[in-house]
Amino acid sequence: MAATTSSAAGIRWDLADLSPGADAARREWDELLERARRFGVERRGTVGSGGAEGLQRLLAELDELHQRSARVHFYALAREHTNATDAEANDLATTARDRAAELENLLLFVELEWLALDDAEAEALLEAPELQPYEHKLRVAREEKPFVLGEPEEQALNARRPGIEAWESLHGRTLATLEIDFDGGEGAEPHTIDRLLSYVYSPDRDLRLRALEALYGGLAGIVDVPAACYDALVGDRLAVDRLRGVPEPMLPTNLRNELEGEVVESMLAAIEEQYPLGRRWFECKARALGLERLELADQYAPVGRDRRVPWQEAVEIVDGSLVRFEPRLAEIFRACLERGHVDAEPRTGKVGGAYCNSVSQGVLPYVLLNHTDTLRDVVTLAHEFGHATHGALALERQPFRSWRVGLAVAEVPSMFAQLLAVEGLIDREDDPGNRALLLADRVETALGSIFRQTVLARFEQRAYALRGEGKALTSERLSGLWLEENERYYGGSVALPEGYRLAWSYIPHFVGARFYTYAYAFAHLVALSLLARYREDPRTFTPAYLEFLGSGGSRSPQELLEPLGVDLREERTWADAFAELDRAVSAAERGVFVA
């Protein structure tokens, strides 16, 4: 990963929009905490009594404190993420974590006082025009009120945090330190789980099969540890749910996503009905690879041919895709590039993967990538700029408190931008091999986020139900549930190896946050449905889509998406999405044989 070999060499962040330097950042934290203390002295006890105008001023001040903290906090993280061995960056990041927690404690009274108001008082304030930009978020905060306990109880529950984190960290450490001897072509050497999993993208079938077998063999030796961690965490979450009066284990996740339980359930049911669409692809892929039936290890085997896409060309492709859709979005893309808000060069000491952080008003979003000149890197660039354009437009129009949305809606603009870019790429690639790769990748990404995430959500639901009945979540029981839910999806179209029963054990989401994964299925389906609406009538769609982006989190998902012709309560929304996916599968079925 030498910097000189990358076509994105030199494409690095300029963090001047966040802080002029380390000393200034330290001083900024001191000043911020001082201001937060003063804010507390002046404002404590006034959330309900200062009238609508007073509350509006208080919230604006609070937003300002949060934004300053967001900028200086991300300054430290951004340095750490791009240079892990920079000692100053590590110190700054530690300071930032401690100081941010201190700041949160000083400001927490605002949320507590808001929840403590009775409904009539709150309603009178919510009707005031001054508070309109904050109205939705203030309402949403109160929806959790029935499940919030008194201050001493909440403090006691908070005090359990280190115990909870110990289970999470035992789970993480057990898997991160697992080393499995494996010969990947350069002699036997210890492999991590991630390294073994990366072989499923190899063109060498024997390597793929052996890698998964080695992985499952390694997991067999430790599987009781992740099972015990998961059992403890689910047991704890259910016990706290009972204290809070939370009637259903998925409810806290649904509240955070602002989705009704019925909407989520009808979506999951609609997805399960379409499992055969996934099988149709697996059968096609088996033929394309010249196999009678796919083994699990063949699921992500490469199809078609990749080509080199240097950074400048990737930028031109995404720019073109945005310009064709709506020039305003391309302006934001170019501005981020020009101001040094994109870090695309892979290098030692930089974190892997990609993300976007829309830090605060008045600052363009920051995007991190690791561009390695593949066609998939272009797709990732488009995805992250779906997030960035959303953040930039929402922060132009909404107060800081009102711009953010739950994970489910947050992934909609990124998936939509990704789908548009992929469609453009498929239309423009001349080489049938390159087209085949993109067509297969489009389908496999969709199956991964729509079907596989649903399998995970159903597995979790059954685990919570079992634990709720007083049954311990042993590795035997979890493996049984895992296989049943997976077999419902793959249904014989893919041969599942014996060891696959243990594959639930290394999925971090189950441990970190419950029912996290359905948001990806939701976002992908909604983005497919939006694509159908766009194709029907681009002229009315585009302005409505800009309005959606600029609205940020100032309305509910239902209210945000309805003007775009996507009604979450209508089965048609999911049916339209599957019609799009069906089209994509058909195109891939044709494309992989032309190649």
Q: What does the DSSP 8-state code read for residue 497? A: P
- At closest approach, how far in Å is the CB of 259 from Zn ion? 18
- At closest approach, how far in Å is the CB of 355 from Zn ion? 8
- Choices 27-35, 409-417, 438-446, 507-515 (CB under 5 A): range interacting with Zn ion: 409-417
Asked whether 441 and 587 are in contact (CB, 8 A), the reply is no
- At closest approach, how far in Å is the CB of 545 from Zn ion? 17
- At closest approach, how far in Å is the CB of 367 from Zn ion? 11
Q: Tokens in use for 467?
A: 């634990």
- Shortest CA distance to 256 belongs to which of 414, 147, 449, 405? 405
Cβ closest to Zn ion, residue 380 vs residue 556: 380
- At closest approach, how far in Å is the CB of 383 from Zn ion? 6
Cβ closest to Zn ion, residue 103 vs residue 415: 415
Q: How many CB atoms lie within 10 A of CB 281?
A: 24
Cβ closest to Zn ion, residue 277 vs residue 549: 549
| Cα 595 to Cα 401, 432, 435, 439, distances in angstroms | 50, 5, 8, 11
- At closest approach, how far in Å is the CB of 379 from Zn ion? 12
Core vs surface per residue 89-122: b (16+ CB within 10 A) or e: beebbebbeebbeebeebbebbeebbeebeeeeb
Cβ closest to Zn ion, residue 125 vs residue 359: 359
Cβ closest to Zn ion, residue 357 vs residue 475: 357
- Shortest CA distance to 106 belongs to which of 167, 40, 57? 40
Does position 402 interact with Zn ion (CB under 5 A)? The reply is: no
**Residue given tokens 């639930």 in the structure block:** 504
| Cα 4 to Cα 312, 345, 346, distances in angstroms | 15, 10, 10
Does position 445 interact with Zn ion (CB under 5 A)? The reply is: no
- At closest approach, how far in Å is the CB of 421 from Zn ion? 13
- Choices 21-29, 149-157, 231-239, 414-422 (CB under 5 A): range interacting with Zn ion: 414-422
- At closest approach, how far in Å is the CB of 387 from Zn ion? 6
Cβ closest to Zn ion, residue 414 vs residue 505: 414
- At closest approach, how far in Å is the CB of 498 from Zn ion? 34
Cβ closest to Zn ion, residue 414 vs residue 475: 414
Cβ closest to Zn ion, residue 244 vs residue 371: 371
- Choices 216-224, 239-247, 413-421, 432-440 (CB under 5 A): range interacting with Zn ion: 413-421
Query: What is the H or E stretch that residue 559 is in?
Result: helix 557-561
Q: Tokens in use for 393?
A: 């437009």
Point out the residue whose Cβ comes nearest to Zn ion: 414
Does position 551 interact with Zn ion (CB under 5 A)? The reply is: no
- At closest approach, how far in Å is the CB of 298 from Zn ion? 27
Give dist(CA 178, CA 144) in Å, integer. 39
Cβ closest to Zn ion, residue 63 vs residue 377: 377
Q: What does the DSSP 8-state code read for residue 504? A: G
Strand partners, 191: 180
Q: What does the DSSP 8-state code read for residue 362? A: T
Does position 6 interact with Zn ion (CB under 5 A)? The reply is: no
Does position 414 interact with Zn ion (CB under 5 A)? The reply is: yes
Cα within 13 Å of Cα(520), Cβ side: 17
- Shortest CA distance to 515 belongs to which of 473, 456, 450? 456
Q: Is 356 helix (H, G, I), strand (E, B) or coil?
A: strand
Q: How many CB atoms lie within 10 A of CB 465?
A: 12
Cβ closest to Zn ion, residue 253 vs residue 414: 414
DSSP secondary structure letters along 19-77:
-S-HHHHHHHHHHHHHHHHHHHHHHTT-TTTSHHHHHHHHHHHHHHHHHHHHHHHHHHH
- At closest approach, how far in Å is the CB of 437 from Zn ion? 21
- Choices 26-34, 358-366, 412-420, 520-528 (CB under 5 A): range interacting with Zn ion: 412-420
Cβ closest to Zn ion, residue 219 vs residue 408: 408
Does position 461 interact with Zn ion (CB under 5 A)? The reply is: no
- Choices 43-51, 341-349, 364-372, 410-418 (CB under 5 A): range interacting with Zn ion: 410-418
Q: What does the DSSP 8-state code read for residue 562? A: G
Cβ closest to Zn ion, residue 420 vs residue 503: 420
Does position 479 interact with Zn ion (CB under 5 A)? The reply is: no
Q: Cα torsion for 87, 91, 93, 98, to the nearest 10°? A: 160
Asked whether 259 and 140 are in contact (CB, 8 A), the reply is no
- At closest approach, how far in Å is the CB of 117 from Zn ion? 36
Cβ closest to Zn ion, residue 418 vs residue 493: 418
- At closest approach, how far in Å is the CB of 381 from Zn ion? 12
Does position 358 interact with Zn ion (CB under 5 A)? The reply is: no
Give dist(CA 406, CA 408) in Å, integer. 6
Does position 418 interact with Zn ion (CB under 5 A)? The reply is: no
- Choices 239-247, 367-375, 407-415, 468-476 (CB under 5 A): range interacting with Zn ion: 407-415
Query: How many residues touch Zn ion (CB under 5 A)?
Result: 1
Cβ closest to Zn ion, residue 82 vs residue 414: 414
- At closest approach, how far in Å is the CB of 415 from Zn ion? 8
Q: Cα torsion for 37, 39, 42, 47, to the nearest 10°? A: -130
Cα within 13 Å of Cα(442), Cβ side: 29
- Shortest CA distance to 139 belongs to which of 258, 260, 259, 263? 258
Q: Cα torsion for 211, 212, 213, 217, to the nearest 10°? A: 100
Query: Within positions 499 to 538, which residues make up the interface with Zn ion, using CB under 5 A?
Result: none
- At closest approach, how far in Å is the CB of 108 from Zn ion? 29
Cβ closest to Zn ion, residue 8 vs residue 412: 412
Give dist(CA 15, CA 157) in Å, integer. 38
Cα within 13 Å of Cα(205), Cβ side: 10
> Using CB under 5 A as the criterion, which residues of the chain lie in contact with Zn ion when the complex forms?
414
